[in-house]
Chain A
Amino acid sequence: EAGVAQSPRYKIIEKRQSVAFWCNPISGHATLYWYQQILGQGPKLLIQFQNNGVVDDSQLPKDRFSAERLKGVDSTLKIQPAKLEDSAVYLCASSFDKGNVGNSPLHFGNGTRLTVT
């Protein structure tokens, strides 16, 4: 099966600019996650979707970050305006079943590496 697709692979922007990332999950996966991985740290959940609804966005900095999954398939994550501390790898993941991740593991994309200068 095709994996989780993300684009772009790399992005360099100046602070206060805007940026958007795209994710296409594995076909049939209802749950989609965006994680932020700062260098030297483990991934941190930003937002979790079940189909086109938000399950958890408690750690999303909503003053500058937004995400949508309008048709319940692919998703975009936007940062506007970016800050230096947003430099990180943004990982998208999907799973078949929200409620049973123990038996439906997350499949991760290769991520988008964002550098804010």
Chain B
Amino acid sequence: GNSVTQMEGPVTLSEEAFLTINCTYTATGYPSLFWYVQYPGEGLQLLLKATKADDKGSNKGFEATYRKETTSFHLEKGSVQVSDSAVYFCALLNSNSGYALNFGKGTSLLVTP
């Protein structure tokens, strides 16, 4: 079946540090991959996406590259800010499973000044 595995949190970083949140997936076929973010008190928002192998999604300084050979979609940012503190969810969409998103468990990020 389809599943997503994320690194456990919480992740605590100082402002301007480099961020990596690991995400690996299991799926048949060719899924699309997403990162969603949930800021405190707000709903889930799409952060970035990649729909095929070697695609790089980017938004707000965050990047993730769809690596089919390692079945990974790691989220990176070169210099985090306090405002990036949130919970980050990796998700997979597979047309083989009715177009519903499968989410990872989420990784909580806290950025301190």
**A residues lining the B interface (CB < 8 Å):** 3-4, 33, 40-45, 48, 55-56, 91, 93, 98-99, 101-103, 105-106, 108-111
Contacts and interface: CB of A to CB of B under 8 A. Distances in A.
B105 interface: yes
B46 A42 contact: no
A91 B44 contact: yes
Contacts of A4: 43
Interface of B, secondary structure class, is strand
Interface residues of B, number: 24
B43 A109 contact: yes
B99 A41 contact: no
Which secondary structure dominates chain A's binding surface?
loop
* A-B pairs, 8 with minimum CB distance: A42-B103, A108-B44, A108-B43, A105-B46, A102-B32, A102-B51, A56-B98, A45-B100
Interface of B: 4, 32, 34, 41-46, 49, 51, 89, 91, 93, 95, 98-106
A105 B106 contact: no
A40 B6 CA distance: 12
Contacts of A42: 4, 89, 91, 103-106
Nearest to A40: B105
A65 B87 CA distance: 28
Nearest to B95: A99
B106 A106 contact: no
A101 B43 contact: no
Nearest to A56: B98
